[in-house]
């Protein structure tokens, strides 16, 4: 049975197959165990279907848009058909552009670069750094940071007040996540979009954590742009997407100057050059494109669509309930939330454990149980500080706490999962949390280069 058949056959109960599902890792206490990859929010493992598709294409790899040879033509056709597949996956409008980038971060930096001069940007402090920071690099753009809301209604009202108070009423952009990379909570995208448009602003959706878990529909939701990364969507590293309205993209200078972005280049009599830039997505795709990465994204889009999001969402809810129920049975565990425990979320949860440094806890999960999670501030420092009730000047770094195990430290633990996660992985995680809190770690640990690691003597 092929990987694609396994992914879509309703008689098969296992999740979508991913690479690494049979990898064995050593335990400090002796023996080996199948690795439980529960850090999907950072990078989801590649789908077996994606890897198989890429491997089948690899012998035919050629330079895109650059040659008359058969392999170049084949690669060009594949590159452009992948653009159509991604547009279909996102529910794009007929006149939207799909620009291929390196990642969500790259996509949002591209959008920041094409903002009209004098634009105002409104962004909640709860965003991932990829959508929090790019706007500050424009000296001619004003950024307004909005305080962390504690409900959907508060988020909408906060945005409406900020937009209504802006002066002058020029170009404005709202940036918002679809699902938090810290709490997994879903944001009210439709309502925030309606609020933005009612006040003459546009909106970009950071779908890095949403697209792998839920369908995204640009046209139905009426968002102006959407950005996401291949490595969150079960595709290998190095590719991303910015999709949406063409006008700001078409009117701005190219994100990168070079071949592919230029239509014609001619010398002038004064020694300079005149350049005519493309008005299509190619305008912001200078250089030889990552055709392998682009094809991988398209393959992942098709695999998720064929598997059916209804079934994937239903199964993920079961996994979320298993984790939440298990953590709720450990009084020392506090799950972090903006909108309340009952708020809908994707398979991402962050928590802290009384009496434990989060880096120590994550290290023990890995070394003693073969479970990979994330600890730190998750490249969302303002949000995690808010959730932990800290002051802005409190120390803390992503994954490198200064405090020793057992001391208070500004960091948390994040567990995340998705379509490729076996039930056993989340069950092992819940059991491991319970045992570590009840019995303590079986091994001693020390700090090395800012990380908590097993002390091997």
Q: Which residues, other chains included, contact 81 with Cβ-Cβ below 8 Å and sequence gap of 6+?
A: 298
Greatest Cα-to-Cα distance within the chain, rounded to the nearest angstrom: 80
Q: Helix 70-90 vs helix 291-307: angle between axes, to the nearest 10 degrees? A: 40
Among 92, 379, 398, 452, the active-site one is 379
For residues 212 and 110, give the distance between their C-alpha atoms in angstroms, rounded to a whole number.
22
For residues 86 and 412, give the distance between their C-alpha atoms in angstroms, rounded to a whole number.
34
Handedness of CA 156, 160, 161, 163 (dihedral sign): positive
Cβ atoms of 347 and 234 closer than 8 Å: no
For residues 307 and 311, give the distance between their C-alpha atoms in angstroms, rounded to a whole number.
7
For residues 300 and 319, give the distance between their C-alpha atoms in angstroms, rounded to a whole number.
21
Structure tokens, 390:
């800290």
Tally of CB atoms within 10 A around 450:
11
Query: What's the helix, strand, coil split of the chain in %, to 5?
Result: 40, 20, 45
Q: Which residues, other chains included, contact 385 with Cβ-Cβ below 8 Å and sequence gap of 6+?
A: 377, 391, 392, 394, 396, 410
Position 1 scores a pLDDT of 28
Structure tokens, 57:
């294409």
pTM of whole model > 0.95?
no
- Tell me which residue of 111, 228, 130 sits closest to 173, measured CA to CA: 111
- Angle, CA 302 vertex, CA 182 and CA 15 arms, to 5°: 60
Query: Cα 178 to the chain's mean position, in Å?
Result: 10
For residues 444 and 405, give the distance between their C-alpha atoms in angstroms, rounded to a whole number.
10
State whether residue 343 is helix, strand or coil: coil
Position 6 scores a pLDDT of 30
The helix (H) or strand (E) run that includes residue 451 is strand 451-454
- Tell me which residue of 205, 179, 129, 152 sits closest to 348, measured CA to CA: 179
- Per-residue pLDDT reduced to its tens digit, 397-446: 444 445 544 444 678 999 999 988 999 999 999 999 999 999 999 999 99
Could you identify the residue written with the tokens 């968002």? Answer: 223
Could you identify the residue written with the tokens 């995208």? Answer: 189
Cβ atoms of 344 and 151 closer than 8 Å: no
Cβ atoms of 193 and 223 closer than 8 Å: yes
For residues 316 and 337, give the distance between their C-alpha atoms in angstroms, rounded to a whole number.
18
Q: How does strand 142-146 pair with strand 120-124?
A: parallel
Torsions phi, psi for 229 (to 5 deg): -115, 145
- Per-residue pLDDT reduced to its tens digit, 271-315: 899 999 999 999 999 999 999 999 999 999 999 999 999 999 999
User: Is residue 92 among the annotated active site residues?
Assistant: no
The helix (H) or strand (E) run that includes residue 166 is none
State whether residue 298 is helix, strand or coil: helix
Cβ atoms of 193 and 222 closer than 8 Å: yes
For residues 178 and 175, give the distance between their C-alpha atoms in angstroms, rounded to a whole number.
10
State whether residue 266 is helix, strand or coil: strand
- Angle, CA 122 vertex, CA 117 and CA 123 arms, to 5°: 125
DSSP letter at 129 equals: H
- Angle, CA 414 vertex, CA 411 and CA 416 arms, to 5°: 165
Distance spanning both ends of the chain, measured CA to CA: 47
For the chain, 457 residues long, give each residue's pLDDT as a single digit of tens: 233 333 333 333 446 899 999 999 999 999 999 999 999 999 999 999 999 999 999 999 888 887 889 999 999 999 999 999 999 999 999 999 999 999 999 999 999 999 999 999 999 999 999 999 999 999 999 999 999 999 999 999 999 999 999 987 899 999 999 999 999 999 999 999 999 999 999 999 999 999 999 999 999 999 999 999 999 999 987 899 999 999 999 999 999 999 999 999 999 999 899 999 999 999 999 999 999 999 999 999 999 999 999 999 999 999 999 999 999 999 999 999 999 988 999 999 999 999 999 999 999 999 999 999 999 999 999 999 999 987 655 555 444 445 544 444 678 999 999 988 999 999 999 999 999 999 999 999 998 887 899 998 7
């Amino acid at each position: 049975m092929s990987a694609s058949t396994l992914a879509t056959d309703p008689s098969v109960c296992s999740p979508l197959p991913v690479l690494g599902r049979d990898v064995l890792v050593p335990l400090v206490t002796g023996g080996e165990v199948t690795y439980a990859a529960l850090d999907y929010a950072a990078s989801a493992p590649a789908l077996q279907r994606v890897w198989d598709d890429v491997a089948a294409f690899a012998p035919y790899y050629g330079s895109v848009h650059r040659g008359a040879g058969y392999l170049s033509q084949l690669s060009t056709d594949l590159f452009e058909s992948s653009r159509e597949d991604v547009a279909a996956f996102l529910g794009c409008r007929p006149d939207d552009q799909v620009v291929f980038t390196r990642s969500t971060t790259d996509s949002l930096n591209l959008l920041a670069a094409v903002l009209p001069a004098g634009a105002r940007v409104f962004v909640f402090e709860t965003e991932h750094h990829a959508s929090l920071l790019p706007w500050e690099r424009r000296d001619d753009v004003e950024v307004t940071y909005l305080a962390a809301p504690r409900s959907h209604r508060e988020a909408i009202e906060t945005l409406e007040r900020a937009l209504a108070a802006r002066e002058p009423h020029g170009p404005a952009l709202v940036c918002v996540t679809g699902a938090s990379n810290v709490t997994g909570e879903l944001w009210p995208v439709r309502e925030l979009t309606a609020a933005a448009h009612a006040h003459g602003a546009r909106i970009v959706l950071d779908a890095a954590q949403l697209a792998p878990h839920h369908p995204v529909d640009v046209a139905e939701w009426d968002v102006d742009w959407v950005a996401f990364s291949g490595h969150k969507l079960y595709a290998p590293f190095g590719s991303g997407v910015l999709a949406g309205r063409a006008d700001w993209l078409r009117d701005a200078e190219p994100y990168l100057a070079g071949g592919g972005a230029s239509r014609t280049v001619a010398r002038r009599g004064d020694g300079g050059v005149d350049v005519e830039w493309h008005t299509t997505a190619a305008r912001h795709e200078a250089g030889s494109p990552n055709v392998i990465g682009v094809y991988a994204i398209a393959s992942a889009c098709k695999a998720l669509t064929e598997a059916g999001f209804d079934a994937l969402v239903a199964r993920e809810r079961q996994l979320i309930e298993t984790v939440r129920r298990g953590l709720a049975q450990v009084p020392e565990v506090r799950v972090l939330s903006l909108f309340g425990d009952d708020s809908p979320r994707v398979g991402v949860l962050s928590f802290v454990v009384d009496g434990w440094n989060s880096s120590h806890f994550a290290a023990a999960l890995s070394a003693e149980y073969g479970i990979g999670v994330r600890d730190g501030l998750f490249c969302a420092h303002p949000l995690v500080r808010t959730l932990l009730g800290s002051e802005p000047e409190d120390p803390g770094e992503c994954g490198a706490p200064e405090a020793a195990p057992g001391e208070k430290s500004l960091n948390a633990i994040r567990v995340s999962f998705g379509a490729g996660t076996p039930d056993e992985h989340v069950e092992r995680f819940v059991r491991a949390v319970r045992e570590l809190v009840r019995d303590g770690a079986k091994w001693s640990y020390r700090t090395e280069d800012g990380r908590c690691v097993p002390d091997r003597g």
